A and B are shown apart, each in its own frame.
Chain A
């Protein structure tokens, strides 16, 4: 099983979270959190961000430069300062920046981040345009994981927070495998395949039948766990099939703990699941501890 790819913003990190991220099974991608801070109208100081990167007790998989939303010049300036100070962040090319900067960034980094793709007009056309320029070089799409585009352009990596989006709208996104998803809602009976997948993921189907639980679904561990476990599986499939690493963006300790637990369960279940079969006309059942009945 591939490692669990997680993206955390600097703004949301604390000692407990950092300790949990220091895990051999996790690829931890550090984001400056500039986008979240921009939405909250807060400012992240470059010096604080640099000190934080230095203070980490382990090296993250990679980390981004401190981008400045809507200000390509400042973003570039931050990148240059970080490089001068001995850091090796992923530079971020933001929509609106001089296209010539793509080649400039690749002179100092083997991978660049492409920003300004989340919910902006013409973002798909921009991805198409920019990927023509980037070609086979490594890039990370910030917040853009459209599967058609991922499959077509095969970027090195991308990140997404959409695992959490369904619950806000009363929907549980269940990954059925092979790129197919099913939306579970309170009033719709899940398909037979969805029932099998829920059971394979280790959840109790009966819990979804209890109407009261849908009212408080965001607080309910099963309801949160199904999309989380689904996305863990989905990003594994994408990486195995296409090669792109998708990082799941998370923002708090509770979600991190749950992701680690669910990833551990999926990792373990590959080798320990009970199996049944016929061998030369003899029925064999192997239990989870490897014995036969």
Chain B
């Protein structure tokens, strides 16, 4: 396998800002790869992978380890090699805590490119709607606000149709005491004139 074989997925909907990229770069240089299961031998604590270990404990009766090198072990479930491996580190307390947060922080994990997601999710939904609900992609769709195009057709259906010209409004100001006289004079003068409304 060559590095050139590792093509970027053209549909990859993940993006990362400059600030996030810088933080991630620092995390990689400080902690190495903490994207999998990482265990601190000094404290005995898991640093990352709590949920994955819980899942494996529930799935297998017996879990053992098969050494790959000094730092990495395959996880064996009921005698069979799983696809999970564990990384073993020896870190002090504060480095362990910092790595725990860094490994789960949204401030350096990038985000979904909102414009690419609808097509991608639609493709998956059409392929297998079970996957869509099993992996809670329907919830993801809601969380990302991808369902926001909403048009209200009722507003148009309920609107009174017309082909009228543009209406203009004339306001007449007068002294309070002659208001009724003026109003009556206008009503008399315009009585029966088409297209005129007096409010």
Contact = CB atoms under 8 A, between A and B. Distances in A.
A169 interface: no
A97 B165 CA distance: 7
Interface stretch (A56-64, A77-85, A126-134): A126-134
B198 to A, nearest CB: 15
Interface stretch (B60-68, B74-82, B152-160, B185-193): B152-160
B151 interface: yes
A281 interface: yes
A121 B156 contact: no
A148 B164 CA distance: 21
Given A274-B16, A276-B14, A281-B36, A95 B164 contact: yes
Interface SS of A by simple majority:
mixed
B142 to A, nearest CB: 12
A179 B33 contact: no
B146 interface: yes
Interface in A254-278: 273-278
B167 A283 contact: no
B150 to A, nearest CB: 7
Given A178-B148, A179-B150, A276-B24, A129 B35 contact: no
A51 interface: no
A196 interface: yes
Interface stretch (A16-24, A38-46, A284-292): A284-292
B153 A152 contact: yes
A147 B148 CA distance: 13
Interface in A149-175: 149, 151-152
Interface residues on A, range: 35 or more
Interface residues of B, number: 45
Nearest to A273: B15
A283 B110 contact: no
B162 A151 contact: no
B131 to A, nearest CB: 18
A75 B68 CA distance: 84
Given A178-B148, A277-B9, A132 B161 contact: yes
A86 interface: no
A121 B111 CA distance: 45
A278 B145 contact: no
B135 interface: no
Contact of A275 (B14, B146, B160): B14
A178 B6 contact: no
B160 A125 contact: yes
Contacts of B33: 283
Nearest to A197: B114
A135 interface: no
**Nearest 10 Cβ contacts at the A-B interface:** A96-B165, A180-B148, A178-B148, A276-B110, A179-B149, A125-B162, A151-B151, A129-B163, A129-B161, A276-B16
